[in-house]
Amino acid sequence: MATTSSTTSSTSSSTTSSSSGLVTSLGVGSGLDLSGILDSLEEVENQKLTAITTKQTSYESKLTAYGTLQSALETFSTATEKLSDSSLYATKQTSTNTSFSSTATSSATSGTYTVKVSQLATAQTLATSSQSSKTTQLGDSSLTTRNLTLQVGSNSAVNISLTNDQTSLSGIASAINSAKAGVTASIVQSGDSSYQLTLTSDSTGETSTMSVSSDDSTLNSILGYDSSASSNGMTEQVAAQNAKLTVNGIAIERSSNTVTDVPTEGVTLTLNAASSASENLVVTKSVTDAASAITDWVSAYNTLLTSFSSLSAYTSVSAGESQSTSNGALVGDSTLSSVKNQIKSMISSAQSSDTFKVLSQMGISLGTSTDSTTGNVVRGTLTIDNTTLVNALTDNGSAVGEFFMGDGKTTGLATQLVSTVSSYTESNGLIDNAESGITSIIDKLKTQYSQVQSSIENTMSRYRTQFTKLDVLVSELNSTGDYLTSAFEQLSSSSSS
């Protein structure tokens, strides 16, 4: 019995030692490959996460692709906006001069013109005599109201009713400016206690002289003015005069310093100063800027189509095979398809302009090219016949401008494209909304991933607990078996003796 007791104690110690070993090395006690089994189970469980991360990767690729699409559209829109600038199609350029500046449209006749500005057009200015205060009432105090009558040139006279409070210089100036009579009134402080009211016609030229009168005789003695009268209350400070110039020796006179259709139709001169010597105005034909802008636009459009092709690229595979990794992130995407189809449709549609209806009339035709990145054929790209384009710009640049600009609101290819692309790229636009939808899905997948990961961790924790108990149980059974075997061997040995 003493021997049996000693063996039991030894077995118990061995079991405890085995149990202690299970904490750091699962399966040591039982001899089973429990760690390997547990790893296999965890691998199977993690496949649930792999499915989610695969979706996440796909949607994140879509989100990046939408950013690429947005950038490509904005680049195209920038190039298109340049075609909406009317000055681009004014296919004449003028020289830089001192006494005048100039602009020219496509209808201007090329040539060199001699221009001499001898006099600028001016607006008449009248001034009252000095008054000691700008707030003192100047009218007849016995009157409650009076009329002030202003007339500029042959325009209709304007009657302004003034109360007593409005007969000071300040009151009169305010009333005149409010009446919008074609005259600007100002108060000039000419000394410490010296104020004058000045009236300046809003129009230049000899025909824009002013007349001022009032039925208040006291006020009229201060404000009255008639160029034909021998005596006036106000005096002329600046005379109304016309602009005078000569072009190729021909005398020209205008009431304004902006002179149109001189020296030829389509040219506008803005006179800046009188000059003592003549200056040459050179009008030359230039289509370089317009041709360059259109060429850049065609290039931007073709680049946009290449982006469409790359983003929607698809390589067919046999049934059962995995999809190609070279496929675009937006294969079959309805947003991309909508954008692409609408823009391509606009490019090929006819415009309502009078001369040019379609791009091909200007030497811009539809064709195909090859995407250098994917090797895919890109249909609908544009090519330019430079000779035809330059001829169109040279012969009728304004008509080319009409084709692209239209009315600047709803017609014209460039106008329409800029508006349409803006609806794609603006905040809350088509792409922004698509990105918001993708972001929402990605956020849900992140939540789902966390939930599944937590579930897997709980499952694996349960497996570890169960396997640990199994390891201990098998270890104990093995120890008991070893003990019984030893006991039977001892009994058998005793019986033999």
Question: Within 13 Å of residue 472, how many CA atoms lie on the same side as its CB?
Answer: 13
Domain residue ranges of the chain, discontinuous segments joined by +: 14-91+286-314+326-472, 92-121+243-285, 125-238
pTM over 0.85: no
Ranges 140-154, 338-352, 451-465, 477-491: which has the least confidence: 477-491
| CA gap 52, 449 in Å, rounded | 6
CA distances from 442 to 124, 336, 423, 436, 439 (A): 73, 19, 25, 10, 5
Quick one: how far is CA 260 from the chain centroid?
36
Say whether 351 sits in a helix, a strand or coil.
coil
pLDDT tens-digit profile of 136-154? 999 999 999 999 999 999 9
CA distances from 300 to 239, 306, 385 (A): 57, 10, 17
Quick one: how far is CA 44 from the chain centroid?
50
Phi then psi for 210, rounded to 5 degrees?
-105, 150
pLDDT tens-digit profile of 366-379? 988 887 777 778 88
- Beta pairing partners, 238: 125
In the CATH hierarchy, which fold is given to the domain comprising 125-238? Answer: Immunoglobulin-like (2.60.40)
CA distances from 364 to 291, 369, 381 (A): 11, 15, 10
Q: Is 229 exposed, middle or buried (0-12, 13-18, 19+ CB in 10 A)?
A: exposed
Residue 220 predicted with pLDDT over 70: yes
CB-based contacts of 13, cutoff 8 Å, min separation 6 = none
| CA gap 253, 32 in Å, rounded | 114
Per-residue DSSP letters for 363-427?
TEEEEEEE-TTT--EEEEEEEE-HHHHHHHHHHHHHHHHHHHHTTSSS-SHHHHHHHHHHHHHST
pLDDT tens-digit profile of 372-404? 777 778 889 999 999 999 999 988 888 999 999
